[in-house]
Structure 1
Amino acid sequence: MSQSIKVIPFGGLRENGKNMYAVEVDDEIFILDCGLKYPENELLGIDVVIPDFSYLEANVDKIVGIFLTHGHADAIGALPYFLKGRDIPVFGSKLTIELAKINTENDPLTKKFKDFHVVDEKTAIDFDKATVSFFKTTHSIPGSFGIVLKTALGQIVYTGDFKFDQVAKPMYQTDFARLTQIGSEGVTLLLSDSANAGSTVNTDNELKISKYVEETFKYHDGRIIVASVASNITRIQQVFDAAYHTDRKVVLTGLDLERTIRTAMRLNYLTVKADDLIIPVKDIRKYDDDRLVIVETGRMGEPLKALQKMAQKRSRIHIQEHDLVFITTTPSYAMETNVARTKDMIYRAGAEVKSISDDLHASGHGNKMDLQLMINLLKPKYLMPVQGEYRLLDAHAEVAHETGMPYKNIFLAQNGDVLAIEADGVHLAPAVDSGNVMIDGSGVGDIGNIVLRDRKVLSEDGIFVAVVTINRKTKKIVAKPKVITRGFVYIKANRDLMAESIEIVNSTIQNNLDHKEFDWSTLKQDLREDLGHFLYEQTHRHPVILPVIMEINQNKIRSQNHKKAAKSAD
């Protein structure tokens, strides 16, 4: 009996980050990565975004394991949200598992989760329907793997994040022999990283980047504030080495960063050349500015918000004059507006800004030539580009076609699509529910499009509050309405507008009391509509209108009247 295989992306397609892919082989589900993404500009107030787990929750009994490619948030960040109340084994390299443990221990509902399993490039795990094995790849963090699922219908390969670097250190080196072996055994479907597919520029190797970081440190006289992703171990190592060679001390600003670095040091993935290289924050004042490097990664490893707080003096360490803010991470195109805003804040604080991406092409993801080399090594019959906006997935398709792969064998899918693998080929099957779940503080999934729309309106047009008290029995407005605005108009300069708004409130409420059967929702809706039309005509803005309508307490009035009558009788 032939196997039935479905490949389902729950994240990572037509977006940056949030990688999560399920391979369903008969009654076994293999999950590849479980990541999150950081919100783009329009997601006001949202901390992170994770995949919608609905389909997987409905089929949780079929899940045999979660297999992780590396320790960045886009691969492991959603684990605490998915593992709550579930006992699903998690597999990854030594460093990946240690970082995954830090992630889950930070959440009260998963801090007791212990079902972690360390694997290496020689590991092969036999399940009933497939065998899972791994191969070493080059990325900005040690212990990065690609994953192979060997099934009766051929091999399914997921590259994870990768690039090729011929001068990479041993712990970062790609296993080319293993890739050649996998290709010789036949690959039915390849899920390949597309994050840098639009680039034809050769990525600068890490040796050149190391020299660039050291030169930057050498020729600046003041403090250097390094903005980096906490789990970019390659970049952190380069910062440590440059600080040592320029006689500077390193300050780590956050608990998450320190835990990540201490973990990498304990596993010998990160080396410190002097015992006193890292100093506590409290010792900053003991050293001259030209001897300090401050490493800032921000909460959950996202450095831009942290830099904004430093520039606005809302953090423990403030950006000051003569500081150099050295941005060593390469943000996605979707974050360009946020990057520009952050740089502006830094300059206003009197500091300078330098971005590694201004002078070098630094990326942990393969360019066009790397992607073609991966295809030529693995020789897949079918390809599904993953991880990247649509333009990058499309660029990857073009790259693959140049190697000789027909377009009909390349699937530009989207999250929720189902790729069915059968004996006679691969085709799209009916999709499953998929989407974004937004995390705001402790709330998981309680922020929807309506809430986001209101937040956007509040940020752009403000709020307009109308307060009025009515007597429903006498059908009269008891006191003159009051209007309050925030972020809409300056009241003192718009007295006429406020006066006319009060008249509209009066008219709308009195009209409801006189001519309609009383209904609270109808009354408030009429008030929103009438005020909304008037305010837009006058200002061309759509503030959030909040009617606050109070009803006078009839029982209290009667009680007071009885007391007055009794007093008069006495």
Structure 2
Amino acid sequence: MSDIKISALGGVRENGKNMYVVEVRDEIFILDCGLKYPETELLGIDTVIPDFEYLRQNSEKIVGVFLTHAHADAIGALPYFVSEFNVPVFGSEITIALAKIACENEDGAKKFNDFHVVNAETEIDFDNATISFFSTTHSVPESLGVVVKTFKGNIVYTGDFKFDQTASENYRTDFGRLAEIGKEGVLALLSDSANAENPTENVDEHVIADLISETFEYHKGRVIVACVASNLMRVQQVLDAAAANDRKVTLTGFDAEKVVNTALKMKKLHLPKKDLLIKPANMSKYRPEQLIVLETGRSGEPLKSLYRMATGKYKGIDLTEGDLAFITTTPSHAMDTKVAKTRDMIYRAGAEVKAISDEFNSSGHASKRDLQLMINLLQPKYLVPIQGEYRLMVAHAECAEQVGIEPQNIFLLKKGDVLEYTKNKMILGSSIEAGNTMIDGSGIGDIGNIVLRDRKVLSDDGIFIAVVTIDRKKHKIIDTPKITSRGFVFVKTSRDLMSESAEIVTKVVQKNLDNKEFDWSSLKQDIRENLNHFLYEQTHRHPVILPIIMEVNQRRHYKKKNSAPAK
């Protein structure tokens, strides 16, 4: 049996939902606890979090959760996790502050308070390993990488990172610390792959800051800035540029004000001018050229809010002629169609669109050269590309081979794979349960593949409903079956189809009523099969067929009237 295991409950072959498990003998160390936002095929799903089943089965072994940064892909699932598990959570000051805000929105997590602030100087000794941290550069301050020091060497988790030599103090990478970790000996490196496919170097953040300021200076109208609330680096650049150009900033979007105010109190953000921020209700007091609207959106994508503004569905703000929608976030590839539609609707509304990504590679994730530099600094024996779709993990593997990592020492994991270090060799061992838990409204994990399949069918071919009333004792149908549909065909122009469907239902029901061994489930199944065959022949569609059978007893009971008394 191996004393060291590494597994992924999320964050591999997908964007977001980072959650990695390192087991050293009888202790489990959890690295990040993130969510991802649904792609188009997950109809109606709000968010997706990792499956905690393996952790439930081994809850007594968990010693802590170690967070790298304050974005949803690292902390988004934490409210659901701490609702079930009472284990300490460690992270930097701003990471813990924003994690607490996330927990306030989930009833089961509101009372959890086992948070611990750490920094790059912190070391935490456990029975079988020592946890330490190192500073990294990302789009939120105080991002950290995590080192799990074991008796066989260091296991290093980078979190989301990039290298920027011009980064300010709270965003600066500690290169000296990375070199020290490398000299100690790195057994395995779990490294960010989200930007591995892009051969272009990331532009320095001061270049982005200049672009934002120039945009505010030269656009003679209102600017609506789309930005993720927790991207505090970008928020600071917007505040600085607005102040430099004598504009006021109003915050819109879910939790935007709470996140920004928290960062201001903690001095992770600063206001260049005291009266820079104004309430949305006061926007009418200023001319368009004096305003910046900082829209942070909901569900991690402010682009959805821009779409609603462009279509007149956003309360209080409509995009109009003279406005500029300035996209300062880098949407995921899954949002490409939504981005194109949003741009189109903005132009239809008379406004203009500008995106930083049109001019620069402004990702918060490591480029190919950054990934290679990280490998050269740490000199890992084994590499585990994480945080990215499969093609990105492959690109990461290819650039690792270019700097000397042997292909057999690179592991492209899928969710549930377990790496085991045994007999001085890392091998792909057994697997654990590691699916997706889908959040839909207040429901957690109650939406499965069958429900999603039904939603997909409903969205494609609609629903077909057959209602029939029977008297089972008399073996007869009381009335002609009522047929209706939604999203399948237009009823008024398909009367023949409806009539023939009613005849089919009548025949099927009567046949079942005549059967001595009458069975409700068999009756409904027969209706579905016969209607499905008929409807496909007529329309080449497969709607969801919903038979509704009602049973009545026609026997009437009369109460005898009292005879009138004789006179």
* Contact kept? 1:153, 1:423, Cα under 8 Å: no
Aligned to 1:558: 556
Secondary structure of residue in 2 paired with 1:380:
coil
Shift of 1:299: 2.3
429-438 vs 254-263, which moves further: 254-263
Aligned to 1:79: 78
The runs of 4+ residues in structure 1 deviating greater than 4 Å are 567-570
Shift of 1:345: 3.2
Secondary structure of residue in 2 paired with 1:299:
coil
2:473 matched to 1:473?
yes
Could you give the per-residue CA deviations for residues 5-39 of structure 1, whole angstroms, max 9, x where no partner exists?
11111000000000000111011111100000000
* Contact kept? 2:501, 2:531, Cα under 8 Å: yes
* Contact kept? 2:415, 2:434, Cα under 8 Å: yes
Could you give the per-residue CA deviations for residues 407-456 of structure 1, whole angstroms, max 9, x where no partner exists?
01101111111111234111111000111000000000000011111111
2:456 matched to 1:456?
yes
Could you give the per-residue CA deviations for residues 200-227 of structure 1, whole angstroms, max 9, x where no partner exists?
1011111111111122222222322111
Aligned to 2:437: 437
Aligned to 2:26: 27
Distance 2:222 2:508 in 1: 62
2:532 matched to 1:532?
yes
508-517 vs 128-137, which moves further: 508-517
Distance 1:346 1:446 in 2: 37
Distance 2:15 2:534 in 1: 42
Could you give the per-residue CA deviations for residues 39-90 of structure 1, whole angstroms, max 9, x where no partner exists?
0110000000000000111111111111000000000000011111432111
Distance 2:240 2:435 in 1: 42
2:89 matched to 1:90?
yes
Shift of 1:536: 1.4
Could you give the per-residue CA deviations for residues 542-564 of structure 1, whole angstroms, max 9, x where no partner exists?
1111111111134xx322xx24x
Aligned to 2:141: 142
Identity %: 62
Distance 1:553 1:333 in 2: 59
Distance 1:255 1:353 in 2: 22
Give the TM-score taking structure 1 as reference length: 0.96
**AA in 1 matched with 2:249:** V
* Contact kept? 2:254, 2:297, Cα under 8 Å: no
Q: Structure 1 residues 459 and 350, CA, compared in 2 at 3 Å: closer, same or farther?
A: farther
Aligned to 2:506: 506
* Contact kept? 1:41, 1:338, Cα under 8 Å: no
5+ long unaligned stretches in structure 2: none
Distance 1:110 1:179 in 2: 35
* Contact kept? 1:12, 1:20, Cα under 8 Å: yes
Q: Structure 1 residues 367 and 507, CA, compared in 2 at 3 Å: closer, same or farther?
A: same
Could you give the per-residue CA deviations for residues 136-183 of structure 1, whole angstroms, max 9, x where no partner exists?
000000010001111101110000000011111121111000011111
Distance 1:253 1:553 in 2: 60
* Contact kept? 2:473, 2:553, Cα under 8 Å: no
1:144-543 to structure 2, matched below 5 A, reads 144-322=143-321, 323-515=323-515, 517-543=517-543
**AA in 2 matched with 1:385:** P
* Contact kept? 1:311, 1:318, Cα under 8 Å: no
**AA in 1 matched with 2:449:** N
**AA in 1 matched with 2:535:** L
* Contact kept? 2:254, 2:296, Cα under 8 Å: no
Distance 2:117 2:200 in 1: 36
Could you give the per-residue CA deviations for residues 258-280 of structure 1, whole angstroms, max 9, x where no partner exists?
11111111121111111111111
Alignment coverage as a number of residue pairs? 563
**AA in 1 matched with 2:556:** R
Could you give the per-residue CA deviations for residues 523-554 of structure 1, whole angstroms, max 9, x where no partner exists?
11111111111111111111111111111134
Q: Structure 1 residues 569 and 310, CA, compared in 2 at 3 Å: closer, same or farther?
A: farther
Q: Structure 1 residues 286 and 533, CA, compared in 2 at 3 Å: closer, same or farther?
A: same
Shift of 1:569: 8.7
**AA in 2 matched with 1:315:** Y
**AA in 2 matched with 1:558:** R
Aligned to 1:60: 59
**AA in 1 matched with 2:379:** K
**AA in 1 matched with 2:466:** A
Could you give the per-residue CA deviations for residues 78-107 of structure 1, whole angstroms, max 9, x where no partner exists?
001111143211111110010111111221
5+ long unaligned stretches in structure 1: none
Secondary structure of residue in 2 paired with 1:404:
coil
* Contact kept? 2:44, 2:440, Cα under 8 Å: yes
Shift of 1:305: 2.8
Q: Structure 1 residues 313 and 93, CA, compared in 2 at 3 Å: closer, same or farther?
A: same
505-514 vs 260-269, which moves further: 505-514
Shift of 1:300: 4.3
Shift of 1:516: 5.8
Distance 1:478 1:567 in 2: 29
Distance 1:459 1:505 in 2: 25
Could you give the per-residue CA deviations for residues 318-341 of structure 1, whole angstroms, max 9, x where no partner exists?
332222221211111122122223
Distance 1:164 1:92 in 2: 21
RMSD: 1.6
* Contact kept? 1:231, 1:301, Cα under 8 Å: no
Secondary structure of residue in 1 paired with 2:255:
helix
**AA in 1 matched with 2:29:** F
Q: Structure 1 residues 569 and 397, CA, compared in 2 at 3 Å: closer, same or farther?
A: farther
Shift of 1:286: 1.0
Distance 2:257 2:448 in 1: 34
